[in-house]
Structure 1
């Protein structure tokens, strides 16, 4: 069943007071703003969906004593571990052996049991599924769950409320599609265009649009630790079908340059996933109209900033 605005409204009620309201920052252009969701708990929007999932199951009496389990490239696991700690729920997080050390360390600090397996998200997902079957733990998906997507959609709800002058277009990076599903659901309700940006080497959403449904893709990108899903969720495709969504692909070189420029010019230290959205504008792959009011979602603070300076500010 497609996500609805009512699902997002219910998520907003459950997560109120638990997640940080988004901060919208002005940029060099009077009609361009940045949604600083990298300031969210655990550094990404995923805290929203994780809290909504656990709170909804607690309300329904369906939260098992064995807790919650999730497979993640890192960020969803951090959010799940944080939400579980807030609600006093045991959490087991499965991550690829290639997950960034900064994210693995964060999982341990949050009190999660961490299991590293394989080299890709898909390997961690298989191990998590086996764990759920064996223990009866609640399965939390990194992006393919209506409660997770609805929680993510609360970000768009806040962006519309706090951006001066209103919003015509929102630019967002896409991995598995959980954020896109929630965001596009709210955007469609308010006539806002969505620019869905993916790395060229990790383009499950664009591939699904071309194929007419979710398909597996190979993953190879500097942003793959956050945007490395092999397959986009049907929830995202359903939401995109009823919204004005424009897919854009950006190169790894553009992503690296955008991340460095965000640091050098604005002192924003973000991971490559956040820079993926910015790269679409930096490279002119989406050119807003003169009067178009644009918000770029900068999401992802779980990065090692040691490689940010010095260097060329852009790839142009």
Structure 2
């Protein structure tokens, strides 16, 4: 017991000394006011707690009142500057890469991959964005209306087979994931989609976690989920590559096919790693956003 107590005191003292050192070192930097929290953890725990309670805006407002519309913090293992207001948004959204380069938190860049579109610049960014944008045009999406309608009907009938009441948010998450898998990426296997869904749920949680790669943590589970996602995705990429070469598949069939065709045309610029990373990125980006929006629509219509 005395040895464990000594270890606990030693670790606690080292933690506090490191925190004081970082604070002292931070004063010399030309940074806005704010609080970086504890080493590695930062203010992540309080931020995530606020998100769970749907108090994210209050978390921000509290710091704006204390430090002003521009303040520093540390989230998901990354020192972060938060900018609030119209002028701040104009600066962020209007600056080109010579002024401001996007840098994602470590959790996102690790789980999504270092070659995701948010990290790319220059010609690679333009090529990847162009391939994605071309598929998302209204003229392209119109050809998939029938398939999306069939998917919605099928899932709705399956979900209401044994009950008349279904959880809206859970249903919408499953629906958006199924549509993204089938329409955006051309994945039709129901069992495979279910396996992807489970692992992407873990990956999404890992993005909003402290980047500690220790067994049992959300980040650790997310990294393992990413490995399984890649293992399942590579056979699909190889099959689509063969079908594209032999003319059985058109590049405009889905985003995955479009990215594979882009690689064929730009071997020295686009890699399979980029295709994998941007597949993961798009899935994570669409995991909750569309589902929450549709759930809110249902809620508002019910009032």
Q: TM-score, normalised by structure 2?
A: 0.28
Greater helix proportion: 2
TM norm structure 1 = 0.27
More strand by share: 1
**Highest CA radius of gyration, 1 or 2?**
2
